[in-house]
Structure 1
């Protein structure tokens, strides 16, 4: 028996009202990210730690996992040699002594002999399925300092980044008290294109606008952990107390720890170990997170549109097994779907024509995203690249729903040339590694991995 007309009208009114209300909430959330980006990233003062005596500042061990000749590798690694901080060491972590990245490392070590830098060779050390964690273990075990800065090989940072981050992680006694001790300081990724491919521009537009806006907004509201681990500082002593179970340690405040395996090795079972480490410090120890005013500059190499699609599918599938509810509502945070839903709701409630609302919607959405990008980069998109950037932004927005749809129905991902089965809580196990063609790449397990933005030895 069909519903009566009054019931149908009530349902339509409810759906229209919810659509418009959700649009207002989401747009407000985006504005929070935009305003927070303006306040946090448009001024980067010099830290007093930059010129302090070495004996008066906490020591820091920098861990950089390497695998092959990544894009912009020399400049990325050099940025850690020139940090304005008086007390740090650097570990360049590789799996074997024949890694191509070591030629770059040795050149830099010869150029900066005064910097305490060394090579940590894992020689096949395996603590889990995650190759990055395996790679880091030797440097992690040999680190002399409690504060660790894990910095991916495709990231370049400003010379004042370390000092400003330590200011937050280990504030002076005179600093205002915080509700919770800070356990992680992380940096927002800022992409820049080094090889002019369409997928590279789409990745740049995504990371510098929508991703950054939502990332900053979530961390501003700070209701839960949300960390992308391109550049993270945390304490080894904290990490050695957690295991990634996300179960609260009852006596955490008095030094309690989880039973069984703990520390970095315990996170080798996860593909997104960076996010899980941050979540463990948040949930198991009750520690807070914070961002400094710096960014992690990601050099994006030769990425095709298929590479971009495969990369996004991979991480949606990983998130699906870590934060299912947030992943399921993700399409309702994208400009295309939420715009059409709001347009339909407004037409029903007010009679506003769809063709009048949508152009204004997309224009305002774009302007907010461009403002976020300008805040992170320190300048607006250059005039000669503006239309190119806007085109890449539009393509990213149009691809969002198809990518999510493809990702939500599968559980296999490819990373670093290997295929994995994603299981509950983001843990992974190795899957078969047979090669697949174009359709396979669209579903997330293609011929080549772009997690590190095209290592040179893996280019076709």
Structure 2
């Protein structure tokens, strides 16, 4: 029984330690803009596909940055995509001298987002290039924060998405996944020397990537951020994160939306970094809760007291982190965190099974052994 309690205590201690590291590493959104010694010209490549609830706002944010010299290249695979009209409207409302909409599809991989970025990367005229998702809400100091995170041993600077403005319970659950779970573990991992790229915002020194195969080198993996992580590591460099993650407004989410997205990300992690993904089954409250309840049952102590102690030890530090960093919180946040943790082991087990999902009009197929990665035109229904 003591062994069971020790394992549960170790898991809870690791959970608390990761929250403490993230709390030390991540700056609050209210902090001042970091100072940067130089402000070189920057190209920002933004792949667009379809119109989302906050598309107008996120597009305009990219055109309102406080930076002396930058260009925006909006990339669209299909000229009939309705997002083209929205991008043109944003350019009329927020005119930028160096801004363009580039249309075309270079199919260098099974990754539609990467294919969409190729023309933008090739058209970029500056030595620094940011690949940024269209649903990132860029603050005016977006480029300053990316540049401030660059170090002598950096090969890439990224940001995780910070969920905000959820509408409905399942969007609250998505916030719980993105913020105090995924962002927390990614920042804790980076602080411990295990930096992983995140495709939401990626700052590259263009000559570095071009000298190692160019943007085509990111087609080596099904996910461009996984390929970026491995490529940077082979260069002997590191992936670093911005001091504070950039916001991604969520809007409404359904259970199916959250399930599909989390299963997709879990499968991609499983096939690209299986040795890091396997221990993910130990994350969340379920393993220590199960162990402590088992110990309480064996010893004849109160199951309620044991469960309450575990829940307090797991969630009190998480709620404190969100509050201290001024991240989104509501009366439903705790329930959303519990729901997230209940889903984690199910998603983990589901990720080891073969399946397909619709990703930006392409059906991605991942085999149960991670050996088959295919893409094609998606049908009307794709399994998550």
Q: TM-score, normalised by structure 1?
A: 0.76
Gaps of 5+ in 2: none
Alpha-carbon distance change, 36 to 371 in structure 1, aligned in 2, over 3 angstroms: farther
Counterpart of 2:320 in structure 1 is 371
Secondary structure in structure 1 of the residue aligned to 2:245: strand
Alpha-carbon distance change, 363 to 21 in structure 1, aligned in 2, over 3 angstroms: closer
> Matched residues in 2 for 1:379 and 1:400: separation?
22
Number of corresponding residues: 383
Alpha-carbon distance change, 352 to 226 in structure 1, aligned in 2, over 3 angstroms: farther
* CA RMSD after TM alignment: 2.7
Secondary structure in structure 1 of the residue aligned to 2:172: helix
1:133 CA drift (Å): 1.0
Alpha-carbon distance change, 342 to 23 in structure 1, aligned in 2, over 3 angstroms: farther
Secondary structure in structure 2 of the residue aligned to 1:119: strand
Are the aligned partners of 1:270 and 1:427 in contact in 2 as well (CA < 8 Å)? no
Question: Match for 2:180 among 209, 232, 243?
Answer: 209
Counterpart of 2:250 in structure 1 is 300
Are the aligned partners of 1:269 and 1:428 in contact in 2 as well (CA < 8 Å)? no
**1:407-418 aligned within 5 A:** 407-418=351-362
1:157 CA drift (Å): 1.7
Question: Match for 1:77 among 56, 59, 63?
Answer: 59
Q: Does structure 1 residue 227 correspond to structure 2 residue 227?
A: no
Between 364-373 and 305-314, the greater mean CA deviation after superposition: 364-373
1:153 CA drift (Å): 0.7
Counterpart of 1:253 in structure 2 is none
Q: Does structure 1 residue 189 correspond to structure 2 residue 161?
A: yes
> Matched residues in 1 for 2:144 and 2:324: separation?
21
**1:374-413 aligned within 5 A:** 374-376=323-325, 378=326, 381=329, 386-413=330-357
Are the aligned partners of 1:272 and 1:426 in contact in 2 as well (CA < 8 Å)? no
Counterpart of 1:333 in structure 2 is 283
- In our comparison, the structure showing a higher alpha carbon Rg is 1
Question: Match for 1:28 among 17, 25, 32?
Answer: 17
Are the aligned partners of 1:29 and 1:217 in contact in 2 as well (CA < 8 Å)? yes
Counterpart of 1:126 in structure 2 is 107
Q: 1:294-315, CA deviations, whole angstroms, 9 ceiling, x for partnerless residues?
A: 3221122432102211211111
Counterpart of 1:291 in structure 2 is 241
Q: Does structure 1 residue 355 correspond to structure 2 residue 342?
A: no
Between 325-334 and 89-98, the greater mean CA deviation after superposition: 325-334
Between 398-407 and 68-77, the greater mean CA deviation after superposition: 398-407
Alpha-carbon distance change, 346 to 17 in structure 1, aligned in 2, over 3 angstroms: farther
> Matched residues in 2 for 1:351 and 1:114: separation?
69
Secondary structure in structure 2 of the residue aligned to 1:363: helix
Alpha-carbon distance change, 417 to 99 in structure 1, aligned in 2, over 3 angstroms: closer
Q: TM-score, normalised by structure 2?
A: 0.89
Are the aligned partners of 2:164 and 2:328 in contact in 1 as well (CA < 8 Å)? no
Question: Match for 1:268 among 209, 219, 233?
Answer: 219
> Matched residues in 2 for 1:216 and 1:45: separation?
20
> Matched residues in 2 for 1:380 and 1:153: separation?
21
> Matched residues in 2 for 1:432 and 1:112: separation?
35
> Matched residues in 1 for 2:134 and 2:71: separation?
16
Counterpart of 1:149 in structure 2 is 130
**1:53-202 aligned within 5 A:** 57-122=39-104, 124-169=105-150, 181-193=153-165, 196-202=167-173
Are the aligned partners of 2:25 and 2:243 in contact in 1 as well (CA < 8 Å)? no
Q: Does structure 1 residue 420 correspond to structure 2 residue 364?
A: yes
Between 310-319 and 20-29, the greater mean CA deviation after superposition: 20-29
> Matched residues in 2 for 1:233 and 1:435: separation?
35
Q: 1:219-250, CA deviations, whole angstroms, 9 ceiling, x for partnerless residues?
A: 1112x2322221121112111233xxxxxxxx
Alpha-carbon distance change, 29 to 294 in structure 1, aligned in 2, over 3 angstroms: closer
Q: 1:254-297, CA deviations, whole angstroms, 9 ceiling, x for partnerless residues?
A: xxxxxxxx22123235332123213311x111112222233221
> Matched residues in 1 for 2:55 and 2:125: separation?
25
> Matched residues in 1 for 2:173 and 2:322: separation?
14
> Matched residues in 1 for 2:380 and 2:348: separation?
23
Gaps of 5+ in 1: 1-11, 170-177, 243-261, 447-460
> Matched residues in 2 for 1:343 and 1:360: separation?
10
1:427 CA drift (Å): 7.7
Are the aligned partners of 2:102 and 2:120 in contact in 1 as well (CA < 8 Å)? yes
Q: 1:69-120, CA deviations, whole angstroms, 9 ceiling, x for partnerless residues?
A: 1221111011121111101100000113222112222122222334411111
1:379 CA drift (Å): 5.7
Secondary structure in structure 2 of the residue aligned to 1:155: coil
Alpha-carbon distance change, 380 to 127 in structure 1, aligned in 2, over 3 angstroms: closer
